[in-house]
A and B are shown apart, each in its own frame.
Chain A
Amino acid sequence: MAVYIVKRFFMMIATILIIATLTFFLMHSIPGSPFDEERTTNPTIQANLEKYYKLDQPVAVQYVYYLKSIVTFDFGPSIKKPNETVNSLLARGFPISFELGMITILVAVISGVTLGTFAALRHNGFIDYMAMTFAVVGISVPNFVLATLLIQQVAVTWQLLPPATWSSPLHMILPTLALATGPTAIIARLTRASMLEVLTQDYMKMARAKGLTPFRIVVRHALRNALMPVVTIMGTMLAGILTGTFVIEKIFAIPGMGKYFVESINNRDYPVIMGSTVFYSAFLVFMLFLVDIVYGFLDPRIKLHRKDGDV
């Protein structure tokens, strides 16, 4: 196990390093300087600006500075927003995005697992068909489409819930709903499939033969084993949810990291794009790492310290 964790840890570092390097050289391959559009005709001002952002140095030197900034977690100042640094934007925006993401994944896991379990218990019954129809529709409707439809119907036409911002629990309902539907559908399908498999196992017969209550059989014996596939996709699902927050925050005018990120894309604020890409990637890769470790602990059948050579 320890060997596996160490190996997995170094792979995580490699992934982060690759994405950091990729980000850096991609951004530097864009022709022109970020200040071209500005009317700073004065060459001294231009030079001073370039010096401030270290753009006058050779690329290799800049790269070293850049790597140092990642290790020390200081992504430097924003180009388009004076008096703001990437760190201050991250500090302001990320907690909100994180909150939205966490609420979403919580809602998705609870409702998805419940839906999938009931569908499997009533295999080929009415609930099963309803749940699976919901699941395919949920996967097919893009989150930004759902978000705009929800605003149009629930907030504008029916005036039930506020259409934007993130100021109270009531405001959180629509964004969470829009973002959680897709993941809920995926989890429901996955839970149902693995639940159907588990229900045919011999230990289910054993549990019934022991005279356990149906609730106990389902929760303790079936669900615990059926949830393994759900744990495995948590990492990639989290990536989907966090990138989903970009559009959701834009639509609902939520002042999270996604909003700043989209803004920085639109006005080509390179330090912010680079900083938030690296930060988000590192966060996601770290989550993937955690999920793998948790999976190893949860499923004792899996021998994580495999021999070299087989994957």
Chain B
Amino acid sequence: MVQKDKSVTIPDEWFKPKGKNSDKIETVVRPSLSYWKDAWRRLRKNKLAISGLIFLIILTLFAIFGPIFSPHTVTQTNLPNQNQAPSAEHWFGTDEMGRDVFTRTWYGARISLFVGVMAALIDFFIGIIYGGISGYKGGRTDTLMMRIIEILYGLPHLLVVILLMVVMGPSLTTIIIALTITGWVGMARIVRGQVLQIKNYEFVTASKSFGAKTPRIIRKNLLPNTMGPIIVQMTLTVPSAIFAEAFLSFLGLGIQAPFASWGVMANDALPVILSGHWWRLFFPAIFISMTMFAFNVLGDGMQDALDPKLRG
């Protein structure tokens, strides 16, 4: 096989179009990430936030199932067994009435988590309605609604809460009412700021031009796009509500005996510190602190994950 001339011959088939493969160039190989998936991916890298999340999941499980593991009930008194140090029988010791601190700690977790989550949820509903209307309507309505908020914002919250508790009498419901009466203001401000920013985007104008009514625009266009900062605010509301409940219980305005909350337990432990009954204070104290810590780092992590623009 000797070639007659030195010019290179290129087979004709080399010049055939690539054919079917050409449309694959444009395909996205990796699965597309929604905003939430992307946020979750960022959050997962934040070890501190994830350990906070895991702690909260475990705490929730213990709050629900913890008392089952204990042969004692939350209110069962046993005077001969008062102020016992932690032992195989009473894992966290007993208090001055002989009640089991282990069981009471998980009841305290129920109260704290319930108050925190309820306060955050109610703040959320009032906040998005008030803030949504104020930001969306704009103009004079907005000015008036914001004036009201500015005045409310100037009130010393904990004082108002204390006052409300004195008037309504201490109970779980009144704590939540008192906390939300003062607490929704911050949420409303955040929602309004977000709505003000988003309502001028093109997709809202497009929605309007198709004849969408205001409630639909708020529900379908504005709220989903303001969710990031709102969820962060909710996560950070929970620890402050937990703190407020413990603070009120500590002042004697919270949950009443014989039921337990961490604030009540810490308050009851105060007179016996000098006698060396450290477990009375240690367990409620460590659990309040760790729960608030977990919510705080989770909130911080979610802020970083949901709002990448803010990252320094």
Contact = CB atoms under 8 A, between A and B. Distances in A.
Contacts of A280: 156, 159
B166 interface: yes
B258 to A, nearest CB: 19
A1 interface: no
Interface residues of B, number: 44
Contacts of B164: 26
B163 interface: yes
A136 B290 CA distance: 11
A281 B292 contact: no
B288 A18 contact: no
Given A142-B246, A265-B253, A281-B155, A27 B293 contact: no
Interface stretch (B15-23, B102-110, B214-222, B268-276): B268-276
A12 B154 contact: yes
Interface residues of A, number: 51
A246 interface: yes
A197 interface: yes
Interface string B245-280: 011001111000000000000100110011010100
Interface string A245-259: 011001100000000
Contacts, number: 121
Interface in A1-57: 11-12, 14-15, 18-19, 22-23, 26-27, 29-30
Contact of A152 (B167, B273, B290, B300): B273
B143 A141 contact: no
Given A136-B293, A145-B288, A247 B247 contact: yes
B14 to A, nearest CB: 55
Closest 6 CB pairs of A and B: A140-B293, A140-B292, A243-B158, A15-B154, A145-B285, A141-B289
Contacts of A302: none
A15 B155 contact: yes
Nearest to A265: B166
A311 interface: yes
A139 interface: yes
A108 interface: no
A207 interface: no
A151 interface: yes
B243 interface: yes
A22 B160 contact: yes
B243 to A, nearest CB: 5
27 contacts: A11-B150, A15-B155, A23-B163, A136-B297, A136-B300, A137-B293, A140-B290, A141-B289, A141-B292, A142-B288, A145-B246, A145-B266, A145-B285, A148-B270, A156-B273, A156-B276, A239-B156, A243-B156, A243-B158, A262-B252, A265-B162, A273-B166, A277-B162, A281-B155, A281-B156, A281-B159, A285-B155
Nearest to A264: B166
Nearest to B269: A148
B155 A148 contact: no
B11 interface: no
A197 B297 CA distance: 22
Contacts of A140: 239, 289-290, 292-293, 296
